[in-house]
Structure 1
């Protein structure tokens, strides 16, 4: 399964909180070996609020809704589409996820688990560093934007 569509989606994402990762074709192919492609359907839950999973999801196509549930209400925090990333907060903090992430438009995401990231860090340290910096950039951009601050998952 080719990762080039994900590469293109990330390159074409011009949103204010874009995941800015610039790899060569060969680096993308190497990265594909560490990721799990997942075809998504409307209603699929990628992340459940309160769970400790540290996976990060890169959105190739489709759309997802990020929302927080409290005892009183459900609040939509963001809608993310092609080229975006989600799960970055728990990836770094090791805290449980702060929101639910549900597929609202069928497509494909690529999952990077913490175990595979550690493996990449050992085998491809420069690539792992670039991914870490790009994820950190997403968090910084979301935190600087008041309405997106709560959408760090």
Structure 2
């Protein structure tokens, strides 16, 4: 969906930093990064906007991109033979797509914008580049995402919300 960007491009990640710092829910993405590390991490991310109702992740798709939510909210739907079942809402300061990223399995749910959103995407190619160039930072990102997965699996309401 999103093409990798050269690592020399700079994007203002201050809004994403603010969103993650102010999300105090169990569903927050909280990597232990300094401001300088966040700025560097931002060079591996692709920012983009979505409109209300736009699908970000389609259930059963093979894409492994992770999406970090700066503004707005996303809804997560599991689709069975009887239609859609809303299973979670993901707010600013959190992330979606971590399940497929880690498992390399098809997406387990559909994610769409509940409102207009600003998102940042990280695809596996860019994460590999980050891992090769900044291994400790990549490990911190992976650990923070792993923590998010663990908290979601503990919560019954979000048990299937690992996308």
Same fold (TM over 0.5): yes
Deviation readout 1:24-60 (Å, 9 max, x if unpaired): 1111110111000011111211100001111000000
Match of 2:62 in 1: 52
SS at match of 2:107: coil
**Equivalent residue number for residue 3 of structure 2:** none
- The C-alpha deviation readout for 1:122-152, integer Å capped at 9, x for no partner, is 0010110000000000011011111111111
Match for residue 6 of structure 1? 16
Work out whether 1:145 is the aligned partner of 2:159. no
* CA distance in structure 1 between the partners assigned to 2:57 and 2:141 by the alignment: 20
DSSP 3-state at the match of 1:151 = coil
Decide which of 70, 76, 93 is 2:86's aligned counterpart. Answer: 76
Matches of residues 4-153 of structure 1 in structure 2 within 5 Å?
Answer: 4-153=14-163
When normalised by structure 1's length, the TM-score is: 0.97
Shift of residue 67 of structure 1? 0.2
Contact 1:59 1:82 in 2 (8 A): yes
Q: How far apart, in 2, do the equivalents of 1:18 and 1:26 lie?
A: 21
RMSD of Structure 2 on Structure 1 (CA): 0.8
Aligned length: 153
- TM-score of the aligned structures, taking structure 2 as reference length: 0.91
CA contact (8 A) 1:11 1:22 kept: no
What's the offset of the Cα at 1:17? 2.3
- d(CA) in 2 for partners of 1:75 and 1:143? 18
The 4+ residue runs of structure 1 with deviation greater than 3 A are none
Structure 2 alignment gaps of length 5 or more:
1-10
